[in-house]
Chains A and B, each alone.
Chain A
Amino acid sequence: MSPSGQGRKVSVLESIGAHLLLIAAVAFALYPVLWVISTAFSGAAELAPRVLPIPAEPTLEHLRGVAFSALKTPGEPDRWLFGLQFLNSLVISLATALVGIVIAIPTAYALARFEFVGKEGGMRTLLATQMFPTVASAIPLYIILDGLGLLGTRSGLVLCYATTAVPFAIFQLRGAFETIPKDLEEAAMVDGATRFEAFVKVVLPAARPAIAVTALFAFMSAYNEFILAATMLGREEMYTLPVVLQRYISEFSADWPKFAAGSLIVSLPVMLLFYVAQRHLIAGLTSGGVKG
């Protein structure tokens, strides 16, 4: 009996079925986003209930309005701030990712490799911090940051975001480190490296995918965060993109087309990052990233 002959026939049917399922899933995934795109490019409101999100009177004016909005400062010439605000968002998010993994990596390594007093309690506390809704901790956070003199600064914001991202990062990275066999480090140490050198030169490169994933998570959590940024940043030059976006919703009316256009611009870097990093994404979550 030759399985290959039958297998090939079955595969064609299955392939088609698989593709159909995936196409349906993609349509489901994209449909609301297409609406956002349509709103961003619509010049007029078409008000019959529609199924296909085709923009009515396509126009670029909303995109232009958002991207080139000028800050009018009294007594000074108009300034183009959107680029700076975009940069703010990117840099703050990158800094969050950097600071987050720098704080998390050594801790995750220690949790994976060492036994020490307080290890169990520490892990449980970390998990517990994920369960507390942040609604209640916002105000004490302001007070603490104020005490540190960091209220209203971007560094203060980075610190908040980074430390909020750290517990999750520690879990991810600890799982990743645990799947890297100890023999690798031990071999290095036998060759004369210190534990730290073994850590940096052997373990970290092996865990690169997981580190990339963790950095991406931290980046995204900072990039889309609105409440802390809106409350803490005191100058338009320091605003991040979600804050800028929320300004299109005022008390009595909202400029939905501009809001949608702004959202598209805001989403672009993340999509790019995803596309570039997707192989790492999967590998990183593979290598025990989410193994408890």
Chain B
Amino acid sequence: MLTGRAWPSRHVLAALSLALAAFAPLRARAGEDVRLWHAYRDAEADALVQVVEAFTKETGHKVELLAVAHESFGSKLAATIPRGQGPDVFIDSHERLGDFRARELVGPADAALEDHAVYSAPALAAVLQDGVHWGVPLSAKSVALYVNTRLVDHVPKTLEALADLQPGLPTGVFALAYEAQSAYGHMPLLFACGGRMLTDDQKFGFIGPEAERSLAIARDLVDRGVVPTDADGALVQDLFRSGRAAFAISGPWLAGDLAGADLDYTVVPLPLVAATGQPMRPPLTVEAAMLSPGGAQRPAALALARHLGGAPAADLRQRVAGTLSVRADVPVPKDSPLLAGFSAQVATAVPLPATPAMRSTWEPAFRAIRKVLRGQATPAAALAEAEFRFDDVRRPPPPPASPTPALLLVGLALLAAAFYLVQQARDPARREAVRRSLPAYRYVAHSVIAVGLLVIVPLVLGAATSLFAGSPTGGYYVGLTNFVEILTARGGPLLISGSFYFVLLVTIAWTLVNVFFHLAIGLVLGLVLSRPTLRLRALYRVLLIIPWAVPSYVTALAWKGMFHKQFGAITGMIHGLNDLFGTDLKPIAWFSDFSTAFAANVATNVWLGFPFMMVVTLGALTAVPADVLEAAEVDGATRWQRLWRVTLPIVRPALAPAVTLGAIWTFNMFNVVFLVSGGDPDGTTDILVSEAYRWAFTREAQYGYAAAYAVLIFLLLLFITRFPGWLARKLGRAA
């Protein structure tokens, strides 16, 4: 009985194994190979290859080099090193050391260091934690002042003098282009005012009169038009490269992008702030070759790390890629004013603390800076809120709970399930039903296994994570505490930004508005496109599907660019309208207000989603029988009546599942919200999914908390999709 009808499974297995065989895993690595991961590109990557070649020639060890996207570097390390599959050596910035150590991704590197006197003291100090060195310092990076020597003939000593140059510059040229809104970009000004980001005891340091002063100065620069608003790294680069900025604050990476531009420039250390008499001191990032715990045990890996930090390598990097060496015996070459400028700056730069607390300062600091620069809050108020958020993220983890109640519950549930199963097995009608189901099971078995193992099990495990708290390597059971914390908004007000209920309201509004527009536009276009007399139908269809076809992470970024207040296309249209109609519309700062940021997100998501609805409508419309429509027409119904009373009711059952699925996808639409508004202003446009992501990946890896969010999202969606049906049945029964 079983063998004769085993056809589906056999064929399926054959197809599966053929598909898998096509991708047989590549050969296992040879014993002597050392794995090195990095996130370099262009000249830095070239320099690294040359350094590694020299290493192989010297020692005979082969090196397996892998370039990883910076965005996924951390998570790739975290996913592979604990399973013994990661690199032996990897190159990253020292500020992530605290994080890596907490996750046990990095091993001691003392054995790979040469005589300590050879390295510069700040560089060595940057990799020193708890008396152990955790990496071999390779190079130092900081921002400095780029000077467009065609626009200015001397470098002012103070920031104020620099700002005073603005009136004398041609229109459209900024005196200073720098990333005023990023916390990293604001730090030189902060240090010049005597402030800091983090106190020595790991509390929020970006608060108090010094910090407020730095914000006031920055705000003043923006208000006077000396500094562009909303500048990110790409804009700073574009402005300086096209000669629209006399000065720019940026790092060595800008030099690479300026190659080939028609520009005369040099690099000097940042100026003083006359108001405080202190120099602007940028944060210092030390790139180091770090060893994984496994790599720290392998002599070949230690040798590679030592070689990477060695004198010939440092010299090569300096010459080929322009990265500053941190070795006392490899001085800056005399013929490079750029390197000389950066080297002078590095001498006064402040090494970033490498503790996990430091990483938690970025988000609150960045939000505070943004609020002040947009004129939405006073420095004191914004910083107080930032401190509140910092403390919120750094709150002590909940106390461990005893798993006994949960285990008891699980035990009871299992007993009940076993009891139920035995009871079912005894029932002859049930046994008969199962026997009759067996042929169906043959069709279903393989997908049950596949989906069960690869979809349901991870889901359940992921959901189970919500019952734990603590760091990724040291999690412990806390029962329902995570849920309680979320639902009580961690003791704070229920409706401020960041609280579950606020985000929930935003998410519901987001979903409703989007689905409405998706449906409306999709329906209208579907109706128009299904007119039988329309020509060029196929062409229109293909063109209208394009938003669906281009990857959403690309187009979301394109939309974001269009909404930029100073340089985006929407502003261009406003200017165009002003020119055409003589109106005086002001460009909109899209991401400064909740309503406009929300509208920007909605515009992007509607653009992404209407093709799907349109195609579904087209399909559904072809099922509308022509004879019913004709009959209606003969009976005297107008076009509108035919549409409303005949077409739409027929189409509705076909549309309903698509609308449900579309609503679910919109509810969980992470890409658009994260990439377009990024939660701006101040996290108010974040939806539940993006909020969960932040808890998992930017707020010190609070995976349990994020998982609790995910479970809540799931329960909400379950309720929302089942409730109308349940309600309809209840009401139907009553009627």
**Cβ-based interface call for B734 (8 A):** no
B462 interface neighbour in A140, A163, A170, Cβ under 8 Å: A140
List residues of B (524-549) whose CB comes within 8 Å of A's CBs: 524-525, 528-529, 531, 533-534, 538, 540-549
Smallest beta-carbon distance A18→chain B, Å: 5
Contact (Cβ within 8 A) A284 B56: no
Contact (Cβ within 8 A) A49 B568: yes
Contact (Cβ within 8 A) A128 B718: yes
Contact (Cβ within 8 A) B70 A290: no
In chain A, what residue has the closest Cβ to B76?
A: A231
Contact (Cβ within 8 A) A102 B657: no
- Give chain B residues whose Cβ lies under 8 Å from the Cβ of A46: 242
- Give chain A residues whose Cβ lies under 8 Å from the Cβ of B5: 194, 196
Contact (Cβ within 8 A) B23 A153: yes
Contact (Cβ within 8 A) B444 A35: no
- Bound-state Cα–Cα, A109 to B446, Å: 13
Contact (Cβ within 8 A) B65 A103: no
Max chain B Cβ within 10 angstroms of own Cβ: one of A18, A30, A45, A138: A45
- Bound-state Cα–Cα, A267 to B550, Å: 5
In chain B, what residue has the closest Cβ to A3?
A: B633
- Give chain B residues whose Cβ lies under 8 Å from the Cβ of A137: 458-459, 461-462
- Give chain B residues whose Cβ lies under 8 Å from the Cβ of A188: none
Contact (Cβ within 8 A) B546 A271: yes
- Give chain A residues whose Cβ lies under 8 Å from the Cβ of B41: 247-248, 250, 255
Contact (Cβ within 8 A) A50 B572: yes
Contact (Cβ within 8 A) A45 B242: yes
B93 interface neighbour in A33, A99, A251, Cβ under 8 Å: A251
Q: Per-position contact with A for B496-538: 1 when CB-CB < 8 Å, else 0?
A: 0000000000000000000000000100110011010110001
- Give chain A residues whose Cβ lies under 8 Å from the Cβ of B234: 253-254, 256
- Give chain A residues whose Cβ lies under 8 Å from the Cβ of B39: 250-251
B622 interface neighbour in A29, A33, A171, A282, Cβ under 8 Å: A282
- Give chain A residues whose Cβ lies under 8 Å from the Cβ of B689: 133, 135
- Bound-state Cα–Cα, A133 to B707, Å: 9
A136 interface neighbour in B441, B463, B533, B607, Cβ under 8 Å: B463
**Cβ-based interface call for B266 (8 A):** no
Contact (Cβ within 8 A) A151 B459: no
B12 interface neighbour in A106, A232, A284, Cβ under 8 Å: A106
Knowing A28-B607, A74-B65, say if A281 contacts B76 (CB, 8 Å): no
- Bound-state Cα–Cα, A104 to B69, Å: 34
- Bound-state Cα–Cα, A131 to B668, Å: 8
**Cβ-based interface call for A9 (8 A):** no
Contact (Cβ within 8 A) B83 A151: yes
- Bound-state Cα–Cα, A289 to B450, Å: 23
Contact (Cβ within 8 A) B79 A252: no
Contact (Cβ within 8 A) A263 B551: yes
In chain A, what residue has the closest Cβ to B237?
A: A253
Contact (Cβ within 8 A) A109 B19: no
Contact (Cβ within 8 A) A224 B551: yes
- Give chain A residues whose Cβ lies under 8 Å from the Cβ of B622: 282-283, 286
Contact (Cβ within 8 A) A274 B545: yes
List residues of A (136-194) whose CB comes within 8 Å of B's CBs: 136-144, 146, 150-155, 158-160, 162-164, 166-168, 170-171, 175, 194
Smallest beta-carbon distance A60→chain B, Å: 15
- Bound-state Cα–Cα, A253 to B251, Å: 10
- Give chain A residues whose Cβ lies under 8 Å from the Cβ of B459: 129, 132, 136-137
Contact (Cβ within 8 A) B528 A18: yes
- Give chain B residues whose Cβ lies under 8 Å from the Cβ of A116: 433, 436-437, 440-441, 444
A130 interface neighbour in B79, B661, B707, Cβ under 8 Å: B661
- Give chain A residues whose Cβ lies under 8 Å from the Cβ of B72: 227, 230-231, 243, 246
Contact (Cβ within 8 A) B710 A75: no
- Give chain A residues whose Cβ lies under 8 Å from the Cβ of B529: 22
A286 interface neighbour in B237, B524, B620, B670, Cβ under 8 Å: B620
Knowing A29-B546, A284-B619, say if A144 contacts B458 (CB, 8 Å): yes
List residues of A (11-33) whose CB comes within 8 Å of B's CBs: 11, 15, 18-19, 21-22, 25-26, 28-33
- Give chain B residues whose Cβ lies under 8 Å from the Cβ of A287: 619
- Give chain A residues whose Cβ lies under 8 Å from the Cβ of B83: 142, 146, 151
**Cβ-based interface call for A73 (8 A):** yes
Knowing A26-B543, A47-B244, A107-B443, say if A11 contacts B533 (CB, 8 Å): yes
Knowing A45-B241, A109-B443, A290-B654, say if A234 contacts B66 (CB, 8 Å): yes
Smallest beta-carbon distance B434→chain A, Å: 5
Q: Per-position contact with B for A222-253: 1 when CB-CB < 8 Å, else 0?
A: 00101100111011111000110011111111
- Give chain B residues whose Cβ lies under 8 Å from the Cβ of A118: 437
Contact (Cβ within 8 A) A44 B242: yes
Smallest beta-carbon distance A288→chain B, Å: 8
**Cβ-based interface call for B71 (8 A):** yes
**Cβ-based interface call for A79 (8 A):** no
Add 5 more A-B contacts to A36-B550, A116-B436 (CB < 8 A). A49-B566, A136-B703, A142-B79, A246-B71, A252-B233
Can you name 5 A-B pairs with beta carbons within 8 Å? A26-B543, A91-B22, A133-B713, A243-B72, A290-B654
**List of 5 A-B pairs having minimum Cβ-Cβ separation, nearest first:** A116-B437, A136-B462, A285-B619, A286-B619, A140-B461
